[in-house]
Amino acid sequence: MLVEGDRVAFRGPTLADPRPSDVVDLQGKTLYPAFVDNHCHILPTGLDLQKLHLGFATSHGEIVDAVRDRMDSIDERGWLHAVHYDQTKYGGVHLTRVDLDAISSTTPILLRHVNGHASIANSAALRAADIGDREPDPAGGSYGRFEDGTLNGVLFESAHELVSHRAPTPSVEEMTEAILLAGDRMAELGISCASDMMTGRFNLLQELDAYRMAEERGCRIQTRLYLQWGEVFRKDGTWRSPDMAEALQCVKPRISGIKIFADGAIGSATAAIYGQYSGASTSGSALSRHAKEAGDHTEREVSGQLIYSPDRLNEMVRMADAAGYQVAIHTIGDYSTDLVLDAFERLDDPSRHRIEHAMLLDDAQIDRMARLGCYCSMQPEFLMRFGHSYRRQLGEERTRMLKRFRSVKDAGIPLSFSSDRPIVAGDPIDGIRIAVNRPDGFDPSENLTVEEAIDAYTVAGARVTGDEGELGSLETGQLARFHTREI
C-alpha cells in the first residue's frame, strides 16, 4: 500500500521502485483499516472522561479519599461528578449522603453508578434539586432511606435522573474540550470516524457549535451527528425554530440523521417485548393503551414501555423522512421492533434508514428486515457487560438468542457494529472478539468469523453514513486511516 499525503495512492502485490526511506516495516504486524463506531455518544464520552473515575475503588474509604482529593479542583459554583461508582465490587453496601456530607456540605457531590441507573448524592446536591428530607418517591424511581424514613442519598432510576438534570450544563468551551478528549481516546483505539447518536441532550445549537469547534481544533476522529427528533421538530412536525432548516444545512460536521427512541432497555424491564419479563419490576399494563392501537401485533401479550404510540411513531418517522433525513431508531424489544418495521414499511424507501440494537429478533422479523433492506447496528460488547441483567430479566432461553449476528448477516441485512460508549468501554477489538466467540449463555451458532466482524466494524459501518468511499477498506483513493492493533 502506497500512501501519498492523506490518501491511499496504490494497493497491490508489488510496487515498482519504492524509495527505501518511504518503506515502513510493520515487523510482522497486520495493518487494518481504522474502525468506524457508528453508534456512540461522543460528547458524553468526553464529559465522563473529565469526571472523577471510581472504577479503581475497592472500598468506601478509597472512594471517599478520591472524592476529597478532587474537591480542590472544583470551583465554587461547580458540582463534583464521579462516574463508575460500583458498590457491588466490595460487599454491596452503598455509601450514604452522610459519608459525602463529611467531605462538603456546600458543594453538590454526585457519584453515578456504573449501571447508569442510580447515583449517590450528598445533601447539597439534594438541596440543589429541591428535594426535601422526606420527599416521596417520584414515578418510575425511588429514594434510598434511613430507618427513620429520611433520604440517605441513594437515588434510583427517575430519582437519579431528576438530580442529575439539576447539575449545571457544560459550557460550549467545556463541551468542545470534552469532544476533543473523546476523540483522543477513540483515536488511540484505532477509531477514525464515529456517529453521535443523540446530539441535543443539553442544547442542540450549542452542541453543534462545540462539534464544529472541535473539528476546527483538530479533533482526531471524524464525527457524524444524529439529532434528537424533538430538538429539531415540534410536535406538529414543523421546524423547532424558523431558521432551523437552514441552520442545520450549513452545519459542520455533517448531520447524518435523526434519532428516535421507540422503547427502553432490558435491564430496567422497559424494552417493549412480547411475553413477560421473568424478573418483572414493571407490569405489562404500561403498554395496554398503545397496544390497542397497534394493529396486527396485539393478540400477543406484551410487556415493557413504548416511548410513543404506534401512530405517533409512524408520524415522526414520516416527518423526518420527508425532511430528507436518515432515521435511526433505538429498538431493543421484539414488539417494539415490529412497530418500527411497520413505520419503515410505509415509506417509499425504507432501505436508507437504521434500526439500532434490535436485541430480540425472531425469524419472521429478520426476513422482514431483509425485505425492507434497512441498516441494522448492533453492539456485541453488551453481551459481555450486561449478560447478568439480561438473564435476570428474560431468563436463560431468551437471553441465549439475543443479538443474532449470524442470522441477520446471512439474511443479507446490512449489519454493522458499534459500541454505544460511554455505557461500555467501547474498544472495537473487544466487540470483535465477542462477536466471534459469544460469551457463555449466548447461542454460539450466531457467532461471526473474524473477517465478518472486522467488516461490521469498518466498511459496513462506514456505508451506513455514506462514508464508504472515504473510509473502512483502504481501497485506492480512500483516506489512509489504519491501525496495527492485534485482533
For the chain, give the longest Cα–Cα distance: 82
φ/ψ (deg, to 5) at 37: -110, 95
Q: Would you say 334 or 420 has its CB closer to Zn ion?
A: 420
- Binders of Zn ion among residues 338 to 377 (CB under 5 A) are none
Whole-number Cα distances in Å, 243 to 45, 207, 319: 30, 17, 17
Ramachandran category for residue 376: left, alpha or beta (phi over 0 → left; psi -120 to 50 → alpha) = beta
Beta-carbon contacts of residue 163 (< 8 Å; ≥ 6 apart): 110, 119, 121, 125, 126, 129, 131, 155
Instruction: Count CA atoms within 13 Å of residue 164 on its CB side.
Output: 21
- Please tell me whether residue 327 binds Zn ion under the rule CB under 5 A: no
Helix axes 334-345, 363-372, angle to 10 degrees: 30
- Out of 100, 194, 197, 327, which residue is the one contacting Zn ion (CB under 5 A)? 197
Q: How far is the CB of 259 from Zn ion (least distance, A)?
A: 8
Q: How far is the CB of 423 from Zn ion (least distance, A)?
A: 7
Instruction: Map residues 204-243 to x or -, x wherever contact with Zn ion holds by CB under 5 A.
Output: ----------------------------------------
Number of chain residues interacting with Zn ion (CB under 5 A): 2
Q: Would you say 37 or 342 has its CB closer to Zn ion?
A: 37
Q: Is the peptide bond before 253 cis (omega within 30 degrees of 0)?
A: yes
Q: Would you say 8 or 197 has its CB closer to Zn ion?
A: 197
Q: How far is the CB of 167 from Zn ion (least distance, A)?
A: 21
Q: How does strand 52-53 pair with strand 80-85?
A: parallel
Q: Would you say 40 or 306 has its CB closer to Zn ion?
A: 40
Element (H, E) at 385: helix 381-385
Can you spell out the DSSP letters for 231-257?
A: HHB-TTSSBSSTTHHHHHHT-SS-EEE
The three three-digit cell numbers of residue 94, written as one number? 452503598
> Of 208, 217, 227, 209, whose CA–CA distance to 183 is shortest?
217
Q: Would you say 381 or 420 has its CB closer to Zn ion?
A: 420
When CB distances to Zn ion are compared, the closest residue is 420
Q: Would you say 201 or 312 has its CB closer to Zn ion?
A: 201
Selected range binding Zn ion among 2-10, 177-185, 191-199, 271-279, rule: CB under 5 A: 191-199
Q: Would you say 420 or 446 has its CB closer to Zn ion?
A: 420
Q: How far is the CB of 330 from Zn ion (least distance, A)?
A: 7
Q: Read off the DSSP letter of residue 184.
A: H
Q: How far is the CB of 40 from Zn ion (least distance, A)?
A: 7
Instruction: Answer yes or no: are the C-beta atoms of 373 and 344 closer than 8 Å.
Output: no
Selected range binding Zn ion among 134-142, 146-154, 193-201, 313-321, rule: CB under 5 A: 193-201
Instruction: Count CA atoms within 13 Å of residue 454 on its CB side.
Output: 16
Q: How far is the CB of 39 from Zn ion (least distance, A)?
A: 6
Q: How far is the CB of 338 from Zn ion (least distance, A)?
A: 21
Selected range binding Zn ion among 196-204, 221-229, 279-287, 474-482, rule: CB under 5 A: 196-204
Whole-number Cα distances in Å, 357 to 40, 320, 386, 404: 12, 20, 13, 11
Q: Would you say 260 or 408 has its CB closer to Zn ion?
A: 260
Q: Would you say 99 or 420 has its CB closer to Zn ion?
A: 420
Q: How far is the CB of 478 from Zn ion (least distance, A)?
A: 27
Q: How far is the CB of 357 from Zn ion (least distance, A)?
A: 8
- Binders of Zn ion among residues 395 to 424 (CB under 5 A) are 420
Chain residues binding Zn ion by CB under 5 A are: 197, 420
